[in-house]
Structure formats: C-alpha cells, structure tokens
C-alpha cells in the first residue's frame, strides 16, 4: 500500500504543480492574481478537442496550435482588460474573475454543457513498484519537471528573466533603467498563459472537458500557492506535492471519507498559514522582495 501511496501522491502532486506554477509566476513577477488562469487551461483543452477531434488534425500539431492561440487570447485580454487596471489589486482580481466567467459562457454557447473527452497524447499504462500508472500521467509528471527547470532558467539565466524580475521588484526603477515595463508585463503574461495552455494539453485528457472544468482546479491551486507562499514558484511546487500526498493518504487510509480529501488539503493549508502566514516559502514583508 505504501508504494501505491507514494506513486499516486507523486502523480497527483505533479498534475497540481503544473497548474500551480504558471499561476504563481504571474503573481510572483507581475503581482496579478489571475483567477482566469485555469480558464485559459480550459480554453486550451477546448481548442485541442476542436483541432484533434473535430477537425482530425495531428494531436501534437493540435497542441501547438492551441497553445499559440491561447497565448494570443491571453495577450489580447492582458492588453485590453488587465493592464489598464493592474495597479489596483482588487480590481484586477474582479476583472480576471469576469474574464473566466466570460470564457466559460462562450464555451457553453459554442459547445453546450456536454461532457467530452480529450484524446491523450499517449495511451496505455505501465507498472511502477506494482502500481499501475497511465503514460499520460507519467508524461505530465515529466513535463512539470521540465517546465519548472525551464521557468527557473528563463528567470535566472536570460535578459528577459532579469527584466521580469526587475520589473517585479520595482516597476518604476526598472523603467528608469531602460527596461520596457509594458512589454515585460506582456511577456510575463504570455509565459503564464502558455504554462496554463500546456497544462490544458496534458491534464485535459485526464479530466472531463466541460465549460466549468476551470473551477475545481482553481480552488486547489489557490490552496497550493497560499501554502507554498504567494509568488514563490518553489513553494508552489512543494505545496502541490504536499496536497497531492495529503489527498492520496485520505483515499487510502479513510476510503469512505474519500470525499474529504479536498477538505483535508485545505485544512493543511489553513494550519500552515496560521503558523506561518506568509506560507512555506513566501516573503514575510513586501519590503523583502
């Protein structure tokens, strides 16, 4: 049973991490709490369904096209809706909620409330320590590691990364240093939305495609980023695995209480932030940024 708990905890945590990292990135560097993050994930899933299933395109081509289209949609909405209000935290929050609901309603009109399945990029399963795991889950787990490394490298090793971090630290000083702050914000949004779209491509085949599919993961992601420390990518990564393992433990140890796995995960988050309000890897004061 221990093997099954470890494998399932890792897999579950990996899926959560993929969704949480993009959310954390846009908050960490642009201070935007983008509630529409998982709505972009939902859009990507619908585009993949349209291209791969309805139009019969190659699945990998469908993923590439979907990611590009979702990035463009993300950039347009950032420029037209988020950027004008980004200095006002509460307004940005409300605006992104509105965006998510608009996306949801548009998909509801276009596709109806039918539950659909997105074909996986790979099919079949393998056994690890005697526990069955689908290849799609393994792919997701692998991609989350690559994405995390890639994001770290981008932020730490490139000029764009320096610009993003500078803008996050002090927008005005970054501007005075010659950094194009507006373009940096756009690039950050593009990266975050791309991460959401990649998550859509990998996670959607593991879930059911429907217009409200963005809501359940959003709650978990919020719990993860708060647990890990708002804006800390490392914290989100570790927080995702903590909640993944917590949920798996509930299923294995209290089967008839499996419905409580979400509540248990949220309770862990509450306990952590009561002891350490800034989360596991968050900064205690804004000035420390």
Partner 1 sequence: MNRVMKGAILLLLACFVMVAAGCPAPVVNEIKIGVIGPMAFVQGEHHWYGAQLAAEEINAQGGILVGDEWYQITLAQVDSNEMLSVTDAATAMEMAITVENVDFLVGGFRTEAVFAMQDVAMGYEVIFLGCGAATVELCTLVADDYETYKYWFRVTPINSSYLGMVDFLLLGMVAEEIRAELGIETPKVAILAEMAVWADSIVAAAYVYLPAMGMEIVGEWRPSPIATEVMAELSAIEAAGAHIIFTTISGPLGITYARQWGELEIPAASVGINVEAQKEGFWDATVGKGNYEMTMNTYARVNITDETIPFIDRFVESAGEFPTYNAGTYEALYILKAAIERAGTLDSDAVVAELENTDRIGTAGRIVFTDAHDVTWGPGYVTGLGVQWQDGEMKCVWPPADGSWEGVVYEGAVDYVLPPWMVEYWAP
CB of 238 to partner 1, least distance (A): 20
Placement of tokens 């002891």 in the chain:
275
Of 1 and 275, nearer to partner 1 (C-beta) is: 1
CB of 269 to partner 1, least distance (A): 17
CB of 87 to partner 1, least distance (A): 33
User: Could you tell me if 159 and 179 are in contact, meaning their C-beta atoms sit under 8 angstroms apart?
Assistant: no
Of 114 and 183, nearer to partner 1 (C-beta) is: 114
Of 56 and 256, nearer to partner 1 (C-beta) is: 256
Which residues are at the interface with partner 1 (CB under 8 A)? 1, 4, 7-8, 11-12, 53, 108, 112-117, 119-120, 123-125, 131-132, 134, 137, 205-210, 213, 216-217, 247-248, 251-252, 255-259, 261-262
Determine the distance from the C-alpha atom of residue 208 to the mean position of all C-alpha atoms in its chain, rounded to a whole number. 17
User: Could you tell me if 99 and 38 are in contact, meaning their C-beta atoms sit under 8 angstroms apart?
Assistant: no
Q: If you write DSSP's letter for every residue of 193-242 in order, what string do you get? A: HHHHHHHHHHHGGGS-B-TTTTHHHHHHHHHHHHHH-TT-HHHHHHHHHH
CB of 150 to partner 1, least distance (A): 26
Q: If you write DSSP's letter for every residue of 253-289 in order, what string do you get? A: H-GGGGGGHHHHHHHHHHHHHHH-TT-SS--SSGGG-
CB of 133 to partner 1, least distance (A): 8
Of 35 and 250, nearer to partner 1 (C-beta) is: 250
> Which two tokens mark 268?
């862990």
Residues 6+ apart with CB under 8 A from 155: 29, 161, 164, 165
Question: Residue 2 belongs to what H/E stretch?
Answer: helix 2-30
CB of 112 to partner 1, least distance (A): 6
Of 48 and 230, nearer to partner 1 (C-beta) is: 48
Choose among 234, 213, 216: nearest CA to 283: 234
CB of 246 to partner 1, least distance (A): 11
Of 127 and 288, nearer to partner 1 (C-beta) is: 127
Measured between alpha carbons, how far is 231 from 137 in angstroms, rounded to an integer?
26
Of 173 and 263, nearer to partner 1 (C-beta) is: 263
């Amino acid at each position: 049973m221990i093997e099954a708990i470890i494998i399932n905890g890792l897999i579950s945590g990996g899926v959560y991490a993929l969704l949480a990292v993009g959310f954390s990135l846009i908050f960490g560097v642009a201070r935007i709490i983008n509630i529409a993050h998982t709505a972009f994930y939902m859009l990507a899933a619908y585009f993949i369904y349209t291209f791969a299933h309805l139009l019969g395109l190659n699945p990998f081509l469908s993923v590439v096209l979907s990611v590009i289209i979702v990035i463009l949609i993300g950039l347009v909405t950032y420029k037209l809706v988020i950027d004008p209000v980004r200095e006002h935290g509460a307004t940005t929050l409300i605006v992104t909620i509105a965006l998510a609901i608009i996306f949801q309603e548009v998909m509801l009109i276009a596709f109806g409330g039918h539950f659909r399945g997105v074909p996986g990029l790979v099919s079949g399963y393998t056994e690890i320590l005697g526990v069955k795991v689908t290849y799609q889950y393994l792919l997701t787990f692998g991609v989350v590691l690559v994405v995390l490394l890639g994001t770290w490298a981008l932020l730490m090793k490139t000029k764009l990364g320096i610009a993003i971090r500078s803008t996050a630290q002090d927008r005005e000083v970054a501007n005075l240093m010659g950094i194009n702050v507006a373009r940096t914000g756009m690039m950050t949004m593009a990266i975050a939305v791309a991460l959401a779209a990649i998550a859509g491509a990998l996670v959607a085949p593991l879930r059911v495609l429907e217009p409200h599919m963005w809501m359940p993961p959003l709650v978990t992601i919020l719990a993860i980023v708060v647990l890990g420390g708002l804006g800390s990518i490392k914290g989100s990564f570790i927080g995702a695995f903590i909640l993944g393992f917590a949920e798996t433990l509930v299923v294995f140890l209290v089967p008839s209480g499996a419905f409580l796995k979400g509540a248990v995960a949220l309770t862990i988050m509450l306990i952590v932030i009561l002891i350490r309000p800034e989360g596991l890897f968050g900064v205690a004061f804004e000035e420390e940024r």
